[in-house]
């Protein structure tokens, strides 16, 4: 809804249609770009619909694991000239938090992620936490840093969180929260906590509009808004 309002207000864009759950996707047929903030259960079908018609897609919906990303890569490969941006978080501060966590990752032996969201959220861990873990894991692999130390041998299922490429991710769901994340790093007698808080949903709008404006110039699948920023 926030994105629809912003597109409607933008002088360089035209809002072709706003499609809800029970509306026909055909309403989107005249669009050059579709923005998808829907649900992990339906986003793959929506993408197939857009890409097969040559409509670029800017996707905020989460729930993308490596298998889904590969399927989207295959989709766009079958339709050259049609591009997809999947951004787990369109907030500029959130993207910076992920970037800073990636930079810090190789300097500490321990790192874990705690994400906190509203209880209406369908997927756990959040797309942001999953992406942060992937970026951290990649940085640690490149630097030759091993797994975080952990002596746990007895555990109630889930107590140590989910394992995303060797990084522990803990998901908290609490009423009144919006979207929040802490990356906690430790080692050498110090800890560093990198925290991001979403204070309102308007924070996602500038990043989503940037995606709409740039999608034509980024061929194939782009994963993460950072690819469009000069970080």
Ligand X SMILES: O=C(O)C1=N[C@H](C(=O)O)C[C@H](O)C1
From residue 198 to residue 227, the character string flagging contacts with ligand NDP as x (rule: CB under 6 A) and all else as - is: ------x-----------------------
Q: Which of 56, 117, 180, 196 is catalytic?
A: 117
Extract the runs of DSSP E, i.e. beta strands, from the chain: 33-36, 56-59, 84-86, 110-117, 162-164, 167-173, 179-187, 190-198, 221-223
Part in contact with ligand NDP (CB under 6 A); list of ranges 7-15, 16-24, 98-106, 210-218: 16-24
Compare residues 11 and 22 and give the one whose CB is closer to ligand NDP.
22
Q: Are 12 and 209 in contact (CB under 8 A)?
A: no
For 27-77, give the DSSP string. GGTT-SEEEE-S-TTTHHHHHHHHHHTT-EEEE------HHHHHHHHHHHH
Q: Is 203 in the site for ligand X (CB under 6 A)?
A: no
**Is 121 a known active-site residue?**
yes
Contact residue for ligand NDP among 55, 58, 87, 98 (CB under 6 A): 87
The answer to whether 83 is a known ligand-binding residue is no
Beta strands across the sheet bearing 33-36? 33-36, 56-59, 84-86, 221-223
Distance CA 109, CA 185 (A): 8
The span from the CA of 33 to the CA of 208, in Å, is 11
Stretch that binds ligand X, among 19-27, 99-107, 123-131, 167-175 (CB under 6 A): 123-131
Question: Which residue number, 9 or 27, has a Cβ lying nearer to ligand NDP?
Answer: 27
Instruction: Choose the one of ligand NDP, ligand X, none that binds residue 39, judging by a C-beta under 5 to 8 angstroms depending on kind.
Output: ligand NDP
The answer to whether 180 is a known catalytic residue is no
- Which residues make up the interface to ligand X (CB under 6 A)? 62, 88-89, 117, 121, 126-128, 179
- Please enumerate, by residue number, every residue annotated as part of a binding site: 60-62, 87-90, 118, 127-128
Catalytic residues: 117, 121
């Amino acid at each position: 809804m926030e994105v629809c309002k912003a597109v409607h207000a933008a002088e360089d864009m035209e809002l072709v249609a706003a499609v809800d759950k029970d509306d026909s996707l055909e309403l989107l047929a005249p669009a050059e770009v579709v923005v998808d903030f829907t649900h992990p259960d339906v986003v793959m079908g929506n993408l197939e619909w857009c890409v097969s018609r040559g409509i670029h897609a800017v996707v905020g919906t989460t729930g993308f694991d490596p298998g889904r990303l590969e399927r989207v890569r295959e989709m766009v490969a079958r339709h050259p000239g049609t591009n997809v941006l999947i951004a787990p978080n369109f907030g500029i501060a959130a993207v910076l938090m992920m970037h800073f966590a990636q930079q810090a990752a190789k300097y500490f032996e321990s790192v874990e992620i705690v994400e906190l969201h509203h209880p209406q959220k369908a997927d756990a861990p959040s797309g942001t936490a999953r992406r942060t873990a992937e970026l951290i894991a990649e940085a640690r692999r490149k630097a030759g840093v091993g797994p975080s130390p952990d002596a746990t041998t007895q555990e109630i299922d889930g107590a140590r969180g989910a394992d995303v490429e060797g990084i522990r991710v803990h998901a908290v769901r609490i009423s009144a929260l919006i979207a929040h994340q802490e990356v906690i790093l430790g080692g050498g007698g110090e800890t560093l906590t990198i925290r991001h808080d979403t204070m309102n949903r308007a924070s996602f709008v500038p990043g989503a509009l940037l995606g709409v404006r740039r999608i034509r110039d980024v061929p194939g699948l782009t994963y993460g808004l950072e690819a469009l920023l000069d970080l």
